[in-house]
Structure formats: structure tokens, C-alpha cells
Amino acid sequence: MDRIDSTLSGRVALVTGAASGLGRATALRLAQSGAAVAVNYSRNQTGAEAVAGMITDMGGRAIAIRADVADKAAVDAMVANVVAELGGCHIVVANAAYSENATLFELTLEQWNRMFDVVLKGTFLCAKAAIPHMLEAGWGRIITISSDAGKKGGQATGPHYSSSKAGVLGLMMGLARQLASMNITVNDVCPMDIPVERWEGRSRERLDSILAGVPRGRFGSPADIGAAIAFLASDEASHVNGTSIDVSGGAILL
């Protein structure tokens, strides 16, 4: 792993849920642009430490840091630690989430509440904890991660996942409007059909049927998400605010 550029040198990024999948690729990509990275996890400590290790091995700065994003005290403590150890918190990528299939008929209130706590309240808590540090630095980037299910509704995906992910987009736009004059931009990246570790075990038929819905004709990679996030985090994107970038190979159009 090599440095790509220095567009983020001097910046500190917190990436939630960065022990695996898209969060992992994002943490690595931001480090490749020179950011110091806090690699958050809630259970996967081994994964998070491996990501932080890869960054330090390439000469970057990184820490693995535990917090359940749904827990306000844990989030506040995490952000305070990031600031203490890495010297700021300029970029937040609110990526932590999980998905779950359910029909409306069987979905319980407990499932609904836990999903909203992690996906929607978790995004709010992480943004809110970091904003004072962004104001202090006079510069900030909040990047949320939504989903095609939030924009188009999911079929098998539970209503709680689709709804909370749509809520992330409303939160992103509300934050963008309220923070626009403070040199903090707030944007979203919307991934769709990007194979990650948790896809292992999906059958060839299942993958083929998903691929049939990707106009580009091949799957995207986690690095494609990292690239979009690195762009939004950069100074070049300073006039991009309140928008969502679909990274779907065109699948979002179907």
C-alpha cells in the first residue's frame, strides 16, 4: 500500500465501522491521501487493529478505537480520545451499520429501534460529537453512508433498514444547511451492490442475478467507495455540499 497524494495531510479522519468492508477501504484510502485515521469498530477488534496496522506500516498514523455508535457516552469518549491522540477530528465518515431482512408483518419494535439507534442516531451522535472540533479547526467534513435501499426501498431488506437509511439522507441535508456557513460540508455516498467480506457464501446464481442489474457489467469494489469519500473529504470538493454520490455502476437507475 502506497501513498496516493497528500490532499488530506494534516487532517484527522474518524471512520466508523472501519474493521471490514467499505469502512476498511475508506480508512485505507484516506490514509493514502495523508490523513491520520481513527479506525472505529464495535466488535471486530482484530479487523480494526489490522487496518490500523496497515496504515502505520505505510508510515501513516492510525489508531483502532472501540465504540458502539448507538451509545452516546461511548461516542463522546471516542471522539475525545481521537482528538487527544491524533490531534483533531476534521473528517467523520459515518459508515457503521448492518442490514437485516424482514417483512413489515414480522418486524418487531425491538428490531426497528436497534436499527434506528445504530444507523440514524449513530450518525447523528458521531456528527454532533465531532462538530465542535471542526468549528475549532475552522474546517470540517461530514460524510454519511446511505444505501440504494434508502432511496428506492428494498424488497427483502427490512423496512427498518430502508427507512433509517433514507433518514440518513434527510439528516445529511439538514446538517448541510445548518453548517454551510461554517466551512463544514456534509455529503453522502450511496453504495449499491459492492461485494464485501460479508457477501462470502452468496451463491454464484445470486451474484449473477445481482450483476444483471448493474449496467456497467461488473461489480464495483470497496476502493470505488473510498475514492468517492476521499474526493468529498478533499479541499477540491469544498463547494460540494448537501448532495449524495451514487456509486453503483449505474444500478441506481434501474
Partner 1 sequence: MNSGTHKQLAGKTALVTGSSRGIGPAIATLLGAEGAAVGVHCHKSVSAAEEVVATIEASGGRARVLQGDVGNENDVERFVSELTDAFGPVDILVNNAGINHFVPIFETTEADFERLVRVNTTGAFLCARAVASTMRDRRYGRIINVSSDCGKRGGKVSGVHFSASKAALQGLTRSLTRQLSPFGITVNDVAPATILTERLDATLTEEQRAARTSAIPIGRMGRPEDVAAAVGFLASDQAGFITGASIDVSGGARIA
Ligand X SMILES: NC(=O)c1ccc[n+]([C@@H]2O[C@H](COP(=O)([O-])OP(=O)(O)OC[C@H]3O[C@@H](n4cnc5c(N)ncnc54)[C@H](OP(=O)(O)O)[C@@H]3O)[C@@H](O)[C@H]2O)c1
Binding site for ligand X (CB under 6 A): 16-17, 19-23, 40-44, 68-70, 95-99, 118, 145, 147-148, 191-194, 196-198
Among 53, 170, 213, 215, binds partner 1 (CB under 8 A): 170
Among 8, 30, 39, 172, binds partner 1 (CB under 8 A): 172
Active site residue 161: yes
Q: Which three cell numbers stand for residue 58?
A: 505505510
Question: Applying CB under 8 A, does 153 fall inside the site for partner 1?
Answer: yes
Question: Applying CB under 8 A, does 171 fall inside the site for partner 1?
Answer: yes
Residue 66 parent element (H or E): strand 62-66
Q: Residues 67 to 86: which contact partner 1 by CB under 8 A?
A: 72
Q: How far apart are CA 68 and CA 164, in angstroms?
A: 17
Q: Could you give the 3-state DSSP secondary structure of residue 213? A: coil
Q: How far apart are CA 55 and CA 143, in angstroms?
A: 21
Q: How far apart are CA 83 and CA 226, in angstroms?
A: 23
Among 20, 162, 185, 234, binds partner 1 (CB under 8 A): 162
What is the closest distance, in whole angstroms, from the C-beta atom of residue 45 to ligand X in the complex? 7
What is the closest distance, in whole angstroms, from the C-beta atom of residue 183 to ligand X in the complex? 26
Q: Residues 223 to 252: which contact partner 1 by CB under 8 A?
A: 242
Measured between its terminal Cα atoms, the distance across the chain in Å is 35
What is the closest distance, in whole angstroms, from the C-beta atom of residue 168 to ligand X in the complex? 8
How does DSSP classify residue 215?
Answer: T
Q: Which three cell numbers stand for residue 9?
A: 495531510
Length of the chain: 254
Q: Could you give the 3-state DSSP secondary structure of residue 152? A: helix
What is the closest distance, in whole angstroms, from the C-beta atom of residue 24 to ligand X in the complex? 7
C-alpha pair distances (Å), 16 with each of 41, 44, 47, 93, 118: 6, 12, 13, 6, 11
Among 18, 51, 120, 233, binds partner 1 (CB under 8 A): 120
Question: Applying CB under 8 A, does 167 fall inside the site for partner 1?
Answer: yes
Interacting residues with partner 1 (CB under 8 A): 72, 103-105, 107, 109, 112-113, 116, 120-121, 124-125, 127-128, 131, 149-155, 157-160, 162-179, 242
